[in-house]
């Protein structure tokens, strides 16, 4: 529901919720993406215990500052700002991105170029209009303390706009400095610039433009990993080169790894990353995402352990995963349950890496089942950030793979590897090195490795759920235990669906291209996959309990995108496998693409 009445959610502040010591970081932040007001209040209430002094309201609230002109967005945001201030959060920011889609701007500021209409950055009148527009938007949200300003990934990219004299670096610096002069100098608010790298070009432009920025009041917010929040991606390697104070952006809600709908208790991963960044003198804090839209807020749910990990590591850099889990489980479920819940928490990363990833590459679409998603085989490949681009896979596979010569070459559909494809445009060096070929290369060895990995995920998820079941009589809060158990139950159901889909999808690709004796072996694998898919669809469609729902819809009606529902995607794989008359996989357009 989109409320129209403005009021403050009630926050009860008690001594028990107050942190004992202030961590040695200037910014201790969380980010609310969802417009679910009640969940937002729960996040704000919990912020007191965690010593949070910075809150960001983004995405479905204020993703672009222009959203303040949408009444329900502005009013919901105002309520959360007031509630956060009432709870003692010092700074509440909203997000903005430049530039907005071109239709937002008066046509008189556009010029025709060989790439189509573009904003004329050489027109002084445009900048007068831009500054006036900015001031007007801020008057509609008077209690906000600042903005997080993204200048890389935007509706109309800054570097694509027209100027006869400005370089890409200068365009970005000019926009950031113009906004900073309004926000910081005129309005006396704060401004963080948010940036991340998709490739080496992005990094060069970011570093070049930051070097030209002049406003001293800026801070830079950088993602915990290059490109996006994937488990196999490395930490950022250019933090020390940034000349402004740095804030690290973490995704505790795991956009790509299950959105808290399955077990995302990756405590060691977040500790390792945060401890790495804390070593840099220019790192002044962190901001952690607390949801991925809808009802996926992680407060009072298993993934909250990640917020506890950030807090405790900020206070004590020597703290271990065991200590973090012991403390959180004691508070959330009771000390007696630690021997059963902690091993399951610690197993979640292995389950996820063997289920949501296939030989090291994420084979979902923002957590939703989507093995044939094109980005899984180019943009999502962690090998883009490693030299050499290799990965060791345990999970009973126990092999080292080259991300391109092995993983992409054998797992990617042939059409994604063609010259002229998106992959070719974004990764030309891979083609120059002859690491991939535009042919179907799945074989029985890779099919067996994939199934081995997916079997591992199912077996580990079964073990974790069995372990959680042993804690039932030890957890006094029945509601908390039920949510914990069902989170791991959904983890198991999801792992089974992924295994089934991979059997059917990769098995069929091999079946229609392999003329060897393996067909007698492959057909039963495909049939098994189809039957297991039908069983998984039934388990989800008949799931009897309420499920958090966000960008990825596991059970309830879709909130975000129709393609984000696993059961529907699973049905396309069944159709894909059971259709007949397709002579070659290279000639097939997969359902849903």
Does 120 map to a domain? yes
In the chain, what is the straight-line distance between the N-terminal and C-terminal CA atoms, in Å?
32
* Residue with tokens 């709908």, as numbered in its chain: 261
In whole angstroms, give the CA distance from residue 534 to residue 382.
Answer: 32
pLDDT in tens, 304-359: 999 999 999 999 999 999 999 999 999 999 999 999 999 999 999 999 999 999 99
6-15, 109-118, 307-316: least confident range: 6-15
**How many percent of the chain have pLDDT more than 70?**
92
* Across 179-199, average pLDDT: 93
Pick from 554, 545, 553: nearest CA to 494: 554
Q: Please give the residue that has the higher pLDDT: either 85 or 524.
A: 85
In whole angstroms, give the CA distance from residue 390 to residue 360.
Answer: 9
Are 283 and 318 in a shared domain? no
Are 412 and 490 in a shared domain? yes
Does 15 map to a domain? no
Does 377 map to a domain? yes
pLDDT in tens, 378-405: 999 999 999 999 999 999 999 999 999 9
CATH number of the domain that residue 185 is part of? 3.20.20.80
Binned at pLDDT 50, 70 and 90, residue 7 comes out as very low
Does 95 map to a domain? yes
Phi, psi of 496 (to 5 degrees): -65, -40
* Across 80-86, average pLDDT: 98
pLDDT in tens, 424-455: 778 888 989 999 999 999 999 999 999 999 99
Dig out the tokens for 207 from the structure. Answer: 């570093």
Are 233 and 131 in a shared domain? no
Q: What is the pLDDT of residue 15?
A: 32
In 10 A of CB 132, how many CB atoms? 11
Which distant-in-sequence residues (6+ apart) come within 8 Å of 322 by Cβ?
Answer: 342
Are 55 and 62 contacting, i.e. CB atoms less than 8 angstroms apart? no
Q: Is the pLDDT of residue 582 over 50?
A: no
Looking at residue 389, the DSSP 8-state letter turns out to be -
Q: Classify 362 in phi/psi space as left (phi over 0), alpha (psi -120 to 50) or beta.
A: beta
Q: What is the pLDDT of residue 16?
A: 34
Number of domains forming the structure of the chain: 2
pLDDT in tens, 236-277: 999 999 999 999 999 999 999 999 999 999 999 999 999 999
Q: Is the pLDDT of residue 18 over 70?
A: no
Angle at 230 between CA 446 and CA 284, to 5 degrees: 155
Are 525 and 391 in a shared domain? yes
Distance of CA 18 to the CA centre of its chain: 30
Are 24 and 283 contacting, i.e. CB atoms less than 8 angstroms apart? no
Widest Cα–Cα separation across the chain? 75
Chain mean pLDDT for the chain: 91
Does 14 map to a domain? no
Are 365 and 487 in a shared domain? yes
Q: Is the pLDDT of residue 520 over 50?
A: yes
Q: Is the pLDDT of residue 360 over 50?
A: yes
DSSP three-state, residue 118: strand
Bridge-based pairing state of the strands 390-393 and 399-402: antiparallel
Are 412 and 510 in a shared domain? yes
Does 188 map to a domain? yes
Are 159 and 260 in a shared domain? no
Q: Is the pLDDT of residue 11 over 80?
A: no
Are 589 and 551 in a shared domain? yes
Residue-range definition of the domain harbouring residue 278: 28-226+238-250+274-296
Looking at residue 54, the DSSP 8-state letter turns out to be E
* Residue with tokens 């990764």, as numbered in its chain: 427
Does 7 map to a domain? no
Q: Please give the residue that has the higher pLDDT: either 406 or 556.
A: 406
pLDDT in tens, 46-55: 999 999 999 9
Does 3 map to a domain? no
162-166, 178-182, 372-376, 426-430: least confident range: 426-430
Which distant-in-sequence residues (6+ apart) come within 8 Å of 114 by Cβ?
Answer: none
Are 243 and 356 in a shared domain? no
Are 169 and 302 in a shared domain? no
Q: In this structure, what is the dihedral angle of CA atoms 277, 283, 286, 292, given to the nearest 10 degrees?
A: -70
Q: What is the pLDDT of residue 201?
A: 66
Are 364 and 436 in a shared domain? yes
Are 139 and 37 in a shared domain? yes
């Amino acid at each position: 529901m989109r409320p129209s009445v403005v009021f403050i959610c009630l926050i009860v502040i008690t001594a028990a919720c107050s942190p004992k010591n202030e961590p040695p970081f200037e910014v201790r932040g969380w980010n609310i993406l969802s417009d679910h007001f009640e969940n937002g209040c729960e996040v704000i209430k919990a912020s007191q215990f965690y010593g949070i002094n910075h809150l960001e309201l983004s995405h479905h609230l204020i993703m672009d500052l222009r959203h303040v002109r949408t009444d329900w967005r502005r009013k919901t945001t105002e309520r959360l700002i007031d509630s956060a201030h009432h709870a003692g959060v010092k700074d509440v920011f909203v997000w903005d991105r430049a530039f907005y889609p071109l239709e937002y701007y008066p046509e008189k500021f556009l010029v025709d170029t060989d790439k189509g209409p573009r904003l004329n950055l050489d027109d002084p009148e445009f900048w007068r209009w831009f500054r006036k527009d900015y001031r007007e938007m801020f008057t509609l949200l008077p209690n906000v303390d600042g903005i997080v300003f993204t200048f890389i990934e935007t509706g109309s990219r800054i570097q694509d706009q027209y100027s006869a004299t400005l370089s890409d670096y200068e365009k970005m610096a000019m926009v950031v400095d113009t906004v900073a002069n309004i926000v910081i100098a005129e309005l006396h608010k704060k401004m963080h610039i948010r940036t991340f790298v998709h490739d080496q070009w992005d990094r060069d432009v970011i570093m070049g433009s930051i070097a030209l920025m002049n406003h001293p009041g800026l801070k830079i917010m950088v993602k915990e990993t290059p490109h996006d929040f994937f488990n196999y991606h490395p930490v950022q390697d250019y933090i020390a080169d940034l000349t402004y104070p740095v804030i690290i952006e973490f995704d505790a809600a795991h956009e790509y790894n299950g959105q808290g709908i399955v077990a995302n208790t990756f405590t060691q991963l977040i500790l390792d990353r945060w401890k790495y960044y804390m070593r840099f003198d220019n790192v002044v804090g962190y901001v952690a995402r607390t949801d991925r839209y809808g009802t996926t807020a992680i407060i009072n749910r298993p993934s909250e352990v990640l917020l506890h990990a950030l807090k405790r590591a900020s206070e004590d850099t020597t703290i271990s995963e065991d200590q973090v889990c012991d403390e959180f489980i004691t508070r959330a479920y009771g000390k007696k349950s630690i021997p059963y819940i902690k091993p399951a928490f610690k197993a979640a990363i292995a389950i996820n890496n063997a289920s949501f990833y296939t030989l090291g590459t994420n084979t979902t679409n923002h957590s939703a089942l989507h093995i044939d998603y094109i980005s899984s085989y180019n943009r999502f490949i962690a090998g883009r950030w490693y030299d050499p681009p290799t990965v060791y896979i345990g999970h009973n596979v126990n092999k080292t793979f080259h991300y391109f010569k092995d993983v992409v070459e054998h797992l990617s559909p042939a059409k994604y590897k063609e010259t002229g494809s998106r992959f070719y445009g974004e990764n030309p060096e891979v083609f120059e090195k002859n690491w991939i070929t535009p042919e179907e290369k799945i074989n029985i060895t890779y099919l067996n490795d994939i199934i081995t990995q997916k079997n591992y995920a199912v077996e580990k998820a079964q073990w974790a759920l069995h372990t959680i079941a042993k804690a039932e009589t030890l957890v006094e809060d029945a509601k908390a235990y039920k949510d914990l158990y069902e989170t791991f139950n959904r983890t198991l159901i999801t792992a089974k669906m992924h295994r089934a889909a991979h059997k059917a999808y990769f098995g069929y690709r091999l079946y229609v291209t392999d003329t060897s004796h393996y067909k007698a072996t492959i057909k039963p694998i495909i049939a098994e996959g189809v039957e297991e898919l039908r069983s998984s669809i039934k388990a989800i469609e008949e799931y009897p309990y309420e499920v958090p729902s966000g960008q990825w819809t596991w059970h309830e009606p879709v909130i975000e995108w129709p393609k984000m529902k696993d059961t529907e995607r699973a049905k396309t794989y069944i159709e894909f496998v059971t259709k007949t008359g397709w002579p070659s996989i290279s000639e097939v357009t997969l359902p849903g693409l």
